[in-house]
Structure 1
Amino acid sequence: MKNLIASLAAVLLLVLPVAAHAGTVTVKGSDTMVILGQRWAEELMKKNPSIKLQVTGGGSGVGLSALINGTTDIAMSSRPMKDSEGEKLRTRFNTTGTEISVAKDGVTFYVNESNPVDALTMDQLKGIYLGDITNWKQVGGPDAPIVVYSRENSSGTYVFVKDNLLNGDDYTSTAQTLPGTAAVVNAVAKEKHGIGYGGAAYAKGVKELKLKKGNEALAPSAENIKSGKYPLSRDLYFYLRNKPTGDAKAFIDFALSPEGQALVTKVGYFPVK
């Protein structure tokens, strides 16, 4: 009898998280995207009060894990789904999932507003984040140690930078990991020798570095990101287990509508349409 009760309790634990959100479309994942996702949800629920949406962050990896575990309807991700994640989704739900690009972004490196450095090459940024460059004077700045800030490893932005800037190598062990882009920006704003990274929409109270490419110094501007000229341009994604239907489809349709894409610009990112 005790074993039966324990088994029933385990089943209930698995069912309750989903049942608790009955009638509500859950959207979870990327901290880069959470403000945008919340704005979309707020505006759509104003227009259609019968639709209930719950948008939370936690990181792209957390959102994709929730999608695989069946505890969210939509995962927000600032990086493409990994092959290993797609395999887990296929094993559990016999589906490869649905990927929808909903906005564009350029991963931006921030420094303190007092820092005289305005632009760095990709190799210089790589050297800083690998720990090979440790003093600002090595890249034309003051004689001061570089204080490196990074996102935690569940972050899609962390993975994007590791793959696209560090070529898969590990971050320097001296990097201080912080739980969200807002925390990175706040730290850099307070630390005059700091450097951090995140989505373009968060760069408030800090200076955005331009990326040197040949004779150009490219800012993470709308023009450079839309064209892909900015070296760290990327898409922002929604992932679902299957093709969207019902209220989930209404939410995605709104995000991709002219009104939804106008909100992308207002928040500080760049439209896909």
Structure 2
Amino acid sequence: MRTQYRPLIALVLLTLVSGCRRPSGSAGDDAGTPPSPTPGLQGTVTVKGSDTMVLLGQRWAEQFMKLHPEVKLQVTGGGSGTGIAALINGTTDIAMSSRPIKDAERQMAQQRHPAGPVELAVALDGITFYVHESNPVEALTIEQLKAIYLGDLSRWKDVGGNDAPIVVYSRENSSGTYVFVKDEVLDGEDFTSRALTLPGTAAVVNAVGQERNGIGYGGAAYARRVKELRVKKDARSEAIAPTPENIQNGSYPLSRRLYFYLPKEATGATRAFLDYVLSPEGQEIAITVGYFPVK
């Protein structure tokens, strides 16, 4: 398995990664201390893409711009596909993506910058399936999740729940989370036509929190007033909860990496921004929000 959110002024994700590529000459390479403010640093950094990653970006932007008040950070969501498209057409400095870039996208990006794009795995996340707090179902296998999202299972009693219809919530197809679920849970097959498409993980969580028979999916950091299902690889496997420990050690079956993509090696304000994101202070912010550093 690969391990791989409405406009907001923000910055984005995190994490110092052993073995993960980062901009050459980054300021945090020697010690592990947060980068110091750079006198005279100014400019605008645009960041676009994954809705999953905006929650983190909002916190980072506030702190980075306190250090660098002459730097303006502009972050918008729209989905991973939107961010990568902006990377390709040259309208963003950084693309946020909750999925790896596709080969065809990489090739298109290289038409503008042959040496790019630069990939940074910046955090770990776990795709969580949410149900209403009153739902008696505690765990599902990946095969059961697949059957629900393909439309082959349509009532909760078929998976040990109440005799009620399953109300399926999904994300728009520009979402990296949508792509992850399609690839890793549905084996590339199409979602049921009964699925109700919503524009972000927060909307999915809100819908499931109000619909007693609902099921939806999204990042682990967004689970509020809903039940997170434990997931089993198959019927004989242990049901694993999407806890921080299980996501970080890879035992949770639906763990994934979150990425930054840059058209080329970063300089100036963009590089300073990345140094902050990868610093211990940036990692601590991400952990506080609900994400996890990549080991």
Q: How far has the Cα of 1:216 moved from its partner?
A: 1.5
Question: Does residue 263 of structure 2 align to residue 259 of structure 1?
Answer: no
Is the Cα contact below 8 Å between 1:261 and 1:272 reproduced in 2? no
Which 4+ stretches in 1 moved above 4 angstroms? none
1:135-179 superposed Cα distances (whole Å, 9 cap, x missing partner): 000000000110000000000000011011111010011101000
Q: Which runs of 5+ in 1 are unaligned?
A: 1-21
Alpha-carbon deviation of 1:48? 1.9
Partner of 2:130, secondary structure, is strand
Q: Which moved more, 1:39-48 or 1:197-206?
A: 39-48
Residue 43 of structure 2 aligns to a residue whose secondary structure is: coil
| Larger deviation, residues 103-112 vs 32-41 | 32-41
Q: Residue by residue, what CA displacement relative to the aligned partner does 1:71-101 show, whole Å, maximum 9, x if unpaired?
A: 1100000000011111111123323300001
Structure 1 residue aligned with 2:61: 41
- Supply the distance in 1 between the matched residues of 2:107 and 2:196 (Cα, whole angstroms): 32
Q: 1:41·1:251 contact (CA, 8 Å) conserved in 2?
A: no
One of 172, 176, 186 as aligned partner of 2:192: 172
Q: 1:230 aligns with which of 252, 275, 279?
A: 252
Greater C-alpha radius of gyration? 1
CA distance in 2 between partners of 1:23 and 1:239 (Å): 19
Q: Deviations over 1:92-111 (max 9, x none)?
A: 33233000011100000000
* Structure-1 residue corresponding to 2:204: 184
| Match among 123, 133, 140 for residue 153 of structure 2 | 133
Q: Is the 8 A contact 2:113 2:264 kept in 1?
A: no
From 235, 245, 266, the equivalent of 2:267 is: 245
Q: Tell me the CA shift for residue 35 of structure 1.
A: 1.1
Which residue is 1:113 aligned to? Answer: 133
The answer for the alignment partner of 1:195 in structure 2 is 215
* Contact map agreement 1:106 1:220 (CA 8 A) in 2: yes
TM-score by length of structure 2 reads 0.83
Equivalent-residue separation in structure 2 for 1:82 and 1:168 (angstroms): 14
Distance across 1 between alignment mates of 2:59 and 2:259: 16
User: Larger relative CO (CA 8 A, sep 6+): 1 or 2?
Assistant: 2
SS in structure 2 opposite 1:93?
coil
Percent identity reads 69
The equivalent of 2:168 in structure 1 is 148
**8 Å contact from structure 1 (residues 152, 179) kept in 2:** yes
Equivalent residue number for residue 89 of structure 1: 109
Gaps of 5+ in 2: 1-41
Q: Is the CA contact 2:43–2:70 (under 8 Å) kept in the aligned structure 1? A: no
CA positional deviation for 1:251: 1.0
Q: Is the 8 A contact 1:87 1:96 kept in 2?
A: no
- The two structures, once aligned, show a CA RMSD in angstroms of 1.2
Deviation for aligned residue 1:250: 1.0
Within the candidate set 183, 189, 193, 1:163 is matched to 183
Letter paired with 1:235:
R
Structure 1 counterpart of 2:243, from 221, 227, 243:
221
Secondary structure class of the residue paired with 1:218:
coil
Alpha-carbon shift at residue 55 of structure 1 (Å): 1.3
Q: How far has the Cα of 1:229 moved from its partner? A: 1.0
1:224 shift after superposition? 0.9
Q: Counterpart in 1 of 2:74? A: 54
Match of 1:107, SS?
A: strand
Give yes or no for contact 1:189–1:206 (8 Å, CA) kept in 2. Answer: yes
* Deviations 1:178-214, CA, capped at 9 Å, x for gaps: 0000110011011000000000010001110000243
